[in-house]
Chains A and B, each alone.
Chain A
């Protein structure tokens, strides 16, 4: 096992370098100079529109100074080396936009995104596993057909549509006002509220984002659950368990469910990046101050250090997620031999 772990780690090194190379060079090759953008923003705030030649000279000087401050005047490979060195000491540099350390900006947003994603994963599993069990134990029944069809249809509902429909029909506007159109707390939110009221307010705000983030997840997962349970139900040992007189409930919940949960471990790793991608849209629509919104705002502002930090962090987390799910798979299923898994 130790040998396998070392091998996996060594193979992760070139992957990691590849990820950083792609991220860094895409960011720097793109047209559009962050210094120009910053200068234009400052000018727009100060005077708006055209400026005289001598003022232009001052601006150019300021831009050159600013480039030197962030190392943007050095050749690309030197910039990469510096960035990489900082990265290895876990320093993501300072934001171009407001000179805040990127690390602080991320740390500020992280709890919101984690809360959103943990709730969605919880909802996904809470709905998908019972549905999958039901479908697999009643194959081709009316209920199974309905859930199969519903899962299929749900899977095809575009997130942007579902979110817009919710916004138009459920969040004020001309129709129902069941949920708030955005944010995490009510405007009159105060710290002195009793716990129960705070919780209610929070749940009220999180309900739509969580449902929207999880519906295609549980549609997909309930199908996986169904097929992996059907596979296990066809095994001989299930017959044996039934033949020795166990109740059907015990057979399903103790003997079948455990083994059919094994493949779901790997799916957890693939759900994580999907949730991060999906939260860009949801956080933008419902103006939730999480990492997705931070990422999108930083992209639009060409705030390279923040974008790169988010990009790299998310890729590395996914890489680790894949590794952990591979290891977990081997832990829960002794039949899997390390290093000999087929792709």
Chain B
């Protein structure tokens, strides 16, 4: 078994990170081996593409142009809308509440998708895909591509923040349980057992349906119900590492508990946690889409992948409402799974040498 050498390299990398603060060692190594797996790498590129779409949703699907030349003046309406949004600027009088696409005598450069997710057009309800609306429209005439681009932002941000919350709770509880052991471990393990036996999805639906709809509450609820896996991984790693010689040495030298836990042990315990973080993002995105599908959690006026799917389940002739947003969820989840699996192969010492 190649357990020892790899945990030694991880330890070496961590001590290097402690000493020099560069932290490159382990991660350059991980990236090098991760890159050799073409499927995982493809997943990684898809993840990057999705992050790009989510970050620049306003620049990809917008009813405002990037650049506008109108009545001998030049405007950058998308940037200006950010200024207006943050109260730093105002719309010039001649552009207030205008439809940019119908301005006469104007020269404009539009984003590739000329609609926002919230542009309602009751004249074009449930249009099948065409060159105008690539993926069709919903029953309020909203463009599906635009809805999906902006939905990517909602899904990914919920995935990231929810997992962020879960990681913080999971690592802190897992570290305390694994490091101190004895009765503290016993008590915290009861908490794990409670979280494991509670029907999580049912709890989620209950809380999300009882509280007012809000993105932030949805993030918090998903985060607070999905930390138990990470906590158990962290606890088990801490239990193992706590008995290694270098930790005993650190304790003997009088390093405080908190420092031993988070500076000496945590960097070495991070590998399995990182895999569960990546898989957790996929899980949170799945849960969010299920909640939106059931019509709870995210406010109804926001277009999400799940809410488009819900419309598809009631207007079954509109196949475009079912195919595209569902495929987006599928590709996102698959990409995160692939990256997670790739990372697991690279990071999990027990799998080394099998391939």
Contacts and interface: CB of A to CB of B under 8 A. Distances in A.
A155 interface: yes
A22 B190 CA distance: 13
Interface string A1-27: 000000000010011001100110011
Interface of B: 190-191, 193-194, 196-203, 205-207, 209-212, 232, 235-236, 282, 286, 289-290, 293-294, 306, 309, 312-313, 316-319, 322-323, 325-327, 329-330, 333-334, 337-338, 341
Given A158-B330, A165-B322, A315 B290 contact: no
A75 B209 CA distance: 24
Given A156-B330, A281-B293, A300-B209, A318 B199 contact: yes
16 contacts: A160-B289, A160-B293, A162-B326, A164-B322, A165-B323, A168-B316, A168-B322, A173-B316, A278-B201, A280-B205, A280-B294, A285-B313, A299-B209, A311-B198, A311-B203, A314-B202
B236 A343 contact: yes
B207 A26 contact: yes
A153 interface: yes
Nearest to B295: A300
Contacts of A281: 290, 293-294
Contacts of B294: 280-281, 284, 296
Main secondary structure of the interface of A (DSSP, over half): helix
Nearest to B328: A161
Given A32-B210, A296-B294, A174 B199 contact: no
Given A19-B198, A277-B201, A295-B202, A11 B210 contact: no
Contacts of A155: 337
Contacts of A322: 193, 196-197
A157 B330 contact: yes
A22 B326 CA distance: 34
Identify which of B194, B282, B286, B294 gathers the most chain A CB atoms within 10 Å of its CB.
Answer: B194
Given A27-B206, A165-B322, A156 B333 contact: yes
B154 to A, nearest CB: 15
A242 B210 CA distance: 61
A260 to B, nearest CB: 17
Contacts of A256: none
